[in-house]
Amino acid sequence: MKAIRAAAVTLKDNPFEKSVADCLVYHEDALVLVEDGTIAAFGPYAELAPTLPAGADLVEYPDGLMMPGFIDAHVHYPQLEVIGAYGSQLLEWLERYTFPAEQHFADAAHADAVAKLFLRELLRAGTTTAMVYCTVHPQSVEAFFAESVRYNTRMIAGKVLMDRNAPAALLDTAERGYDESDALIRRWHGTGRQLYCVTPRFAPTSTQAQLDAAGALLRAHDGVYLQTHLCENLDEIAWVHELFPERASYLDVYAHTGLVGARSMFGHGIHLHEHDFCTCHQAGAALAHCPTSNLFLGSGLFKLFEAADPVRPVRVGLGTDVGGGTSLSQLQTLNAAYKVAAMAGHKLNAVQAFYLATLGGARSLHLDERLGRLAPGYEADLVVLDPKATPLMAFRNGYCRDIIEQLFMLMVLGDDRAVRATYVAGETVYDRERSGDPFRYAEG
């Protein structure tokens, strides 16, 4: 039995639909008890301390604020080497930076090294679950899942499918993409905590035959996910209309092929219409809001409050979209999400924001019965934040009058420096203060 003591915040319902009071759980001094990787008990320290068995391993963070580990609903691990690349919008950015970088993953040793760095950077940012694009190369998926198994993180990932409109070295075929994905699903889906995601990159780089093959993979394997991109950029959307003139909308290209269902995650969805939101709502499909990427690539402003409208709520996760995005930190991603909402005349409050990064992310993945909350029975993935991480934060923190102001300060000023420790299935996988290597496993 392991016990963690700190202040704690967790959400129990959706603050886009209910009041803050109905959603927020806050304990100034809380205890989480962990048994076999799962939360056995959670509550005020004073109540739970007497139940602590003698000899339990108790870790205390007197200045810490713990919460569920962050969930990144959309990220490309092979794009670490092009994060922050100057000067292009989406389609040119793909050609100039992204496709060359992804070709390096033909080399399994390169994939292995980048997967190791990526996992460490996620954990350093307090992210414990992510939905991840690999490259077209099966070895890029092998490298990623192998590293995730080592840390025992719950990750969702898949091999990119592309059979046109990309460099020859990055193309598969409808048949080969099917066979390679099928083999990866058999090997990895449900291996430990790993889950597979069928990953056609986006409509312009797949023929109809390949999109059909993706649909067939979903039908052949229970519980696998689908991820792709949708309505990110105006030139991209015009291109999709040229390539699929018979379809009513970009989303309809996917819907027509049976790719819009529960467990489908569409990256961006910036330029969607009411009809598309209704389609996603009815299907239980989700959108990944990636604000740092949308600003960086000049793609546009996601309509978060329209998507989350309680009249026909669409599930929304928060994505970093690195390398289009500029940070792996969900705190920095929330900072951008606040500004994007503000540009549309909305206020994203701190409780809504942290919902997106935790329980809302879990709901977008249909994993909210096991991830995204501090509550008995939930998987013990959590992050301990340090509201005094920098001199400025320590100073500003002194003027926060309540937990909601403190949370807001954390998402505006915080980044990976504000992560004191990260736990995965109850194990400390990252501890900022540990001497030597702060990570549980060596990089090499």
Stretch that binds Zn ion, among 187-195, 244-252, 259-267, 436-444 (CB under 5 A): 259-267
Between 236 and 321, whose beta carbon lies closer to Zn ion? 321
User: Closest separation between CB of residue 369 and ligand GUN, Å?
Assistant: 30
Between 48 and 155, whose beta carbon lies closer to Zn ion? 155
Q: Is 200 in the site for Zn ion (CB under 5 A)?
A: no
Q: Is 321 in the site for Zn ion (CB under 5 A)?
A: yes
Q: Is 267 in the site for Zn ion (CB under 5 A)?
A: yes
Between 163 and 381, whose beta carbon lies closer to ligand GUN? 163
User: Closest separation between CB of residue 179 and Zn ion, Å?
Assistant: 25
Q: Which does 201 bind (CB under 5 to 8 A by kind): ligand GUN, Zn ion, none?
A: ligand GUN
Q: Nearest residue by C-beta to ligand GUN?
A: 324
Q: Is 236 in the site for Zn ion (CB under 5 A)?
A: no
User: Closest separation between CB of residue 48 and ligand GUN, Å?
Assistant: 44
Which stretches of the chain bind ligand GUN, using CB under 6 A?
A: 76, 90, 94, 98, 201-202, 229, 232, 293, 321, 324
User: Closest separation between CB of residue 228 and ligand GUN, Å?
Assistant: 8
Q: Which does 27 bind (CB under 5 to 8 A by kind): Zn ion, ligand GUN, none?
A: none
Between 230 and 409, whose beta carbon lies closer to Zn ion? 230
Q: Which does 396 bind (CB under 5 to 8 A by kind): Zn ion, ligand GUN, none?
A: none
User: Closest separation between CB of residue 235 and ligand GUN, Å?
Assistant: 11
Q: How many CA atoms within 13 Å lie on the side-chain side of 405? A: 8
Dihedral of alpha carbons 74, 80, 84, 87, sign: negative
Between 267 and 414, whose beta carbon lies closer to Zn ion? 267
Stretch that binds Zn ion, among 193-201, 203-211, 262-270, 349-357 (CB under 5 A): 262-270
Between 126 and 267, whose beta carbon lies closer to Zn ion? 267
Binding-site residue total for Zn ion (CB under 5 A)? 2
User: Closest separation between CB of residue 197 and Zn ion, Å?
Assistant: 13
Phi, psi (rounded to 5 degrees) for 50: -65, -20
User: Closest separation between CB of residue 94 and ligand GUN, Å?
Assistant: 6
Based on the number of CB atoms within 10 Å of its own CB, is 111 exposed (0-12), middle (13-18) or buried (19 or more)? Answer: buried
Q: Which does 232 bind (CB under 5 to 8 A by kind): Zn ion, ligand GUN, none?
A: ligand GUN
Between 269 and 360, whose beta carbon lies closer to ligand GUN? 269
d(CA 344, CA 407): 22
Between 321 and 386, whose beta carbon lies closer to Zn ion? 321
Between 145 and 266, whose beta carbon lies closer to ligand GUN? 266
d(CA 371, CA 10): 11
Q: Which does 263 bind (CB under 5 to 8 A by kind): Zn ion, ligand GUN, none?
A: none
Q: Which does 126 bind (CB under 5 to 8 A by kind): Zn ion, ligand GUN, none?
A: none
Between 89 and 208, whose beta carbon lies closer to ligand GUN? 89
d(CA 174, CA 278): 30
Cis peptide before 426, with omega less than 30 degrees from 0?
Answer: no
User: Closest separation between CB of residue 170 and ligand GUN, Å?
Assistant: 11
Near Zn ion in 157-186, by CB under 5 A? none
User: Closest separation between CB of residue 225 and ligand GUN, Å?
Assistant: 17
User: Closest separation between CB of residue 354 and ligand GUN, Å?
Assistant: 24
Beta bridge pairs of residue 130: 72
Q: Which residues bind Zn ion (CB under 5 A)?
A: 267, 321
